[in-house]
Structure 1
Amino acid sequence: MAQVYLSLGSNIDRERHIRAGLDALAREFGNLSVSRVFESEAVGFDGDNFYNLVVGLHTDLPVGQLAARLREIEDANGRVRGGAKFSARTLDIDVLTYDDLVGEFDGVKLPRGEIVKNAFVLQPLAELAPQHRHPLTGKTFAKMWDDYDKDRQKLWPVHFPWP
């Protein structure tokens, strides 16, 4: 089974959609590892703050089938497609890593570039999988977070009990 890390985010009815996304992932994939939930300002557009977290799971689904299943979960939560790249989201679920795959698989680029760019991805990933290594840099996620310029993006943990 592949070890997969996903990022989840929402800035529309955040608690409801994050909870629904987690519930759907747990139904589909069983036991989940879940980071704390962080609140952050919108990046790339003016909008309401986001809730973000990272989830770890194991799956036998190939990358393309996993991505399709994640799109179905997003769609079931009212995700509107075809708008601006940076815009409000009911639920956004992205594959960050799939084992140590590097490259494009069924239209999914791995590892996801946001890992090195966005605090709202890297901090919860470093928390959840501190000793896991980035497939390209070879650095642990904990080391990457230690080296990250924390003045670039502000985020803070929020109380979010689940389940």
Structure 2
Amino acid sequence: MKVTPLSIPDVLLLEPQVFGDSRGFFFESYNQKKIEQAIGRTVDFVQDNHSLSARGVLRGLHYQIQQAQGKLVRVVQGEVFDVAVDLRRTSPTFGQWVGQVLSAENKLQMWIPEGFAHGFVVLSESAEFLYKTTDFWAPEHERCIAWNDPELAIEWPLDGEPSLSGKDREGKCLAQADLFD
């Protein structure tokens, strides 16, 4: 597995070694030893999530202020633009974002540590998105940053307005959000 720190070095791009031939392909999508070596610490994933979304659906930017979740994310069908925003006040990259195209074709994964908001927009007709989390979903601690916060200025690859859930339409600007130390 090739590991590449992104412009926010705590967010990692993971590229598996893919073995393919005329029959198809095989790759190891998860290996705890390799993930922990890449991240530099022990992680325990406690929940797997799977979503299906249509083109133009934007999910995020989500995080949990307590029971913070580290996420290992990938796409198994389609293509998304995946974003992580650093919400750690004491971090040198506080308020910065990083984005990456993840697709079934490129098989890339992204590690998003605790203390980050996460979101994605679907670029293909549809996309199936998988993510492992280091803590359980706790709706009472869930928060949402506005996808279009001008302070963040995320460069979403959108044609027009995205399709949002009610929760995502109510996202707060970074200046008004609950943050991590």
TM-score scaled by structure 1? Answer: 0.34
State which structure, 1 or 2, has the greater radius of gyration over its C-alpha atoms: 2
TM-score scaled by structure 2? Answer: 0.31
